[in-house]
Amino acid sequence: MKSLTKNTLAYAVSISAAMTAAGTTFAETQITVATVNNGHMIEMQKLTPEFEKANPDIKVKWVTLEENVLRQNVTQDIANKSGLYDVMTIGMYEAPIWGDRGWLTPIDVSGSYDAQDILPSIRQGLSHEGTLYGAPFYGESSMVMYRKDLVKNAGMTVSDRDSWEHIRDVAAAVHNPSEGVYGICLRGKAGWGDNMALMTTIANSFGARWFDENWKPQLESKEWKQAVSFYVDLLTKYGPPGSSSNSFNESLALFNEGKCGMWIDATIAASFVTDPSQSKVADQVGFAQSPISATDKGANWLWSWSLAIPAATKKAEAAQTFVRWATSKEYIQLVGETNGWAAVPTGTRASTYANPKFQEAAIFADAELKAINSADPTDSTLKPSPYVGVQFAAIPEFQAIGTITGQMISGALSGSMSVDQALKSANTSADRQMRRARYY
């Protein structure tokens, strides 16, 4: 009888232990985060154990994708309400549109989050009717990064708001392919957020616009033809081979290897090109505000990669906890203390630029902030236009229009079609999209 009692007790204890274990398992929430394969996002993944240590009931699963693939996947997921992702990385284009459609959960900005510390242009760009739908992980504009040694040796200078023609002359002067140095590196890979981010700022500066005041596409205008012709000629003569396949990451690798005399791209790159552990030319990098032609309106873009929570998620509370952590002042402090203050994600919070440690470490800080503050999405074209956005038009139809246009211009760059053919095809496609959407 005693033996039976012992066995019964042992059985009860084992059942209790199993239930406790099961309870622990069920209490643990796994969230899936979709993000882009950029350096700051990869660093966030490395620091995730710090979050999980502070929040032992939450585990983070990462899905890291190339930029165009990420956009396709998250757009499909959120439109279909599939719920594959609990947190997704989106930008200023998607956040207000998807927020307006009810596809996103508002970001919890209560308590110590301090949303007022977020730079106004970044906060406004990620909001709809005053509600924040994307928490900015990093923000950016665009600017010129150049090799001071090469430019000086060529007897040239690079200054804020140089003309595009002067930039072409500098590229010609430093171009030395026999030594593995190309005059200029620019995005050429097709995509509304790839080559068209840069191409639209060039077109803006030449006086172009995506649509006229009646929403009719303007891609066959003389300003677009001048801008695209200039871009194709510049990269064909002074860019690296295969430019039509290069976007941010490819150009970053070339610049850090010392193969680019100049690179005009996202300000966020500044922390990478000045990092001696990544860049062979870290001590020779200079910065200048983006070039202009007919105007400085829309000459440099405005963007923020942000973390957003789809309304379809069943794990909203855990998702909010992660998003608030990854976009907080405390996270920036963690990166600064872990990797150095020049490596923190920038372009989001005023407190970052006010931090003496950041100011001392980041030689690019003033140029970056100046570029971000100069971009105005509400006034980005020389002629009047009906849309908000610098390098994109904040309408649902733009993603398809920008994608097709990017493919056409990449084709012109690769030599598979003329500039006129590319812009005619792009304009015809855009006109079809706008008519279908009943803009006119």
Q: How far is CA 234 from CA 46, 102, 178, 229, 248, in A?
A: 39, 43, 18, 8, 18
For residue 124, the 8-state DSSP code is H
**Lowest pLDDT segment from 2-11, 242-251, 285-294, 310-319:** 2-11
Query: What pLDDT, on the 0 to 100 scale, is given for residue 72?
Result: 92
Q: What is the distance between the terminal CA atoms of the chain, rounded to a whole angstrom?
A: 90
266: helix, strand or coil: strand
Average pLDDT over residues 64-75: 92
Residues linked to residue 87 through DSSP beta bridges, in sequence order: 33
Read off the pLDDT band of 132 (50, 70, 90): very high
Amino acid sitting at position 426: A
- Residue whose token pair is 């200039």: 230
Query: What pLDDT, on the 0 to 100 scale, is given for residue 16?
Result: 39
Give the helix ranges, DSSP H, for 239-364: 248-256, 270-273, 316-326, 329-339, 350-354, 356-361
Tell me how many degrees the CA angle 47-50-53 measures, rounded to the nearest 5: 150
Amino acid sitting at position 406: G
* Among 268, 301, 192, residue whose Cα is nearest residue 39: 268
Query: What pLDDT, on the 0 to 100 scale, is given for residue 27?
Result: 65
Query: What pLDDT, on the 0 to 100 scale, is given for residue 5?
Result: 40
Query: What pLDDT, on the 0 to 100 scale, is given for residue 428?
Result: 98
Within 10 Å of residue 155's Cβ, how many Cβ atoms? 7
Is the pLDDT score of 18 beyond 60? Answer: no
For residue 178, the 8-state DSSP code is G
**Two tokens at 48?**
């995730």
Proportion of the chain above pLDDT 70, given as a percent? 94
Please tell me the pTM assigned to this model: 0.88
Quick check: 47 and 334 in contact, CB under 8 A? yes
What pLDDT digit, counting tens, does each position of 34-47 carry?
A: 999 988 999 999 99
Mean confidence (pLDDT) of the chain? 93
What pLDDT digit, counting tens, does each position of 386-428 carry?
A: 999 999 999 999 999 999 999 999 999 999 999 999 999 999 9
**Two tokens at 103?**
């596809």
What pLDDT digit, counting tens, does each position of 334-368 carry?
A: 999 999 999 999 999 999 999 999 999 999 999 99
What pLDDT digit, counting tens, does each position of 189-242 carry?
A: 999 999 999 999 999 999 999 999 999 999 999 999 999 999 999 999 999 999
Is the pLDDT score of 295 beyond 70? Answer: yes
Query: What pLDDT, on the 0 to 100 scale, is given for residue 68?
Result: 85
Average pLDDT over residues 91-112: 97
